[in-house]
Amino acid sequence: MVSGNTLAEIAALIGDVARANILSALMDGRALTASELAWHSGVSPQTTSGHLAKLSEANLIAMTRQGRHRYYRLASPEVAQAIEALMSVASFGPKRHRPLGPKDEALRNARTCYDHLAGRLGIAVADALTEKNYIVLSESAGAVTNEGQRFLCDLGIDLQERRGHHRALCRTCLDWSERRPHLAGRLGAALCARMFELGWVERIKDSRALAVTPTGKSGLEEFFGITEQSS
């Protein structure tokens, strides 16, 4: 046992169906209790507990106690990024697509990816900001323009760096369903958080999928010029 965490060890942790389900469930950035995760994982609470212990041990997830509950969340944006990258690879392949039900359709339409927007909505937002010259996505990268700063400020978005945590302002993240980059980084997180605050989007029960509210619809049209991105 020379090295602490090796590539194979980390990948093996993600490479179990139950644990992959757990991590997928945590990909929306929220913290969930052990029981909720047991539900998502598809195995018994005892087994889930074992999985959670292993994931914690390897620092893929972090835990905070709260009364008799234990809340688990992804340990860092890096973990989310690795999982997203794997999902991206996973959805390649010449495999036949499984028939996609309404749930899948909702996911493709709009969802959270760790702490930012993804799916068609995420893409539309990135496109709109680019279109209006608020951000410049030089290929898969991004910077916020001065007009962009103002616009975001008008929207009530604060891009101040959080304590210590050096986190990129504007990253892009390859969308596994759309195969195009959407906005991540502090900007992506702030946009997503603000849309929740404004009541533009709501979580769909038991899912990473999002629903755009009527308020959201008009807001997206007014501020972003996004009319309709649903299927």
3-state helix, strand, coil in the chain (%, to 5): 45, 15, 35
Beta bridge partners of 203: 210
How far apart are the C-alpha atoms of 15 and 86, rounded to whole Å?
10
Residue 63 near residue 34 (C-beta atoms within 8 A): no
185 is an interface residue for a copy of itself by CB under 8 A? yes
Minimum gap (Å) between residue 154 Cβ and a copy of itself = 21
* Residue 42: both structure tokens together: 């598809």
Q: Which of DNA, a copy of itself, none does residue 172 bind (CB under 5 to 8 Å by kind)?
A: a copy of itself
- Single out the residue of 46, 67, 68, 97 in contact with a copy of itself (rule: CB under 8 A): 97
- Residues 6+ positions from 61 with CB-CB distance below 8 Å: 22, 23, 26, 52, 55, 72, 73, 74, 75, 79
Contact range with a copy of itself by CB under 8 A, out of 47-55, 95-103, 194-202, 219-227: 95-103
Minimum gap (Å) between residue 116 Cβ and a copy of itself = 14
* Residue 64: both structure tokens together: 């905070």
Q: Which of DNA, a copy of itself, none does residue 176 bind (CB under 5 to 8 Å by kind)?
A: a copy of itself
Q: What is the DSSP letter of 220?
A: I
Q: Which of a copy of itself, DNA, none does residue 157 bind (CB under 5 to 8 Å by kind)?
A: none
Q: Which of DNA, a copy of itself, none does residue 123 bind (CB under 5 to 8 Å by kind)?
A: none
* Residue 197: both structure tokens together: 């605050």
* Residue 190: both structure tokens together: 């702030």
Q: Which of a copy of itself, DNA, none does residue 155 bind (CB under 5 to 8 Å by kind)?
A: none
Smaller CB separation from a copy of itself, 84 or 219: 84
Minimum gap (Å) between residue 210 Cβ and a copy of itself = 15
CB atoms within 10 A of CB 19: 23
For a copy of itself, the binding residues (CB under 8 A) are 2-17, 19-21, 23-24, 58-60, 76, 78-79, 81-83, 85-98, 103-104, 107, 136-144, 168-172, 174, 176, 185
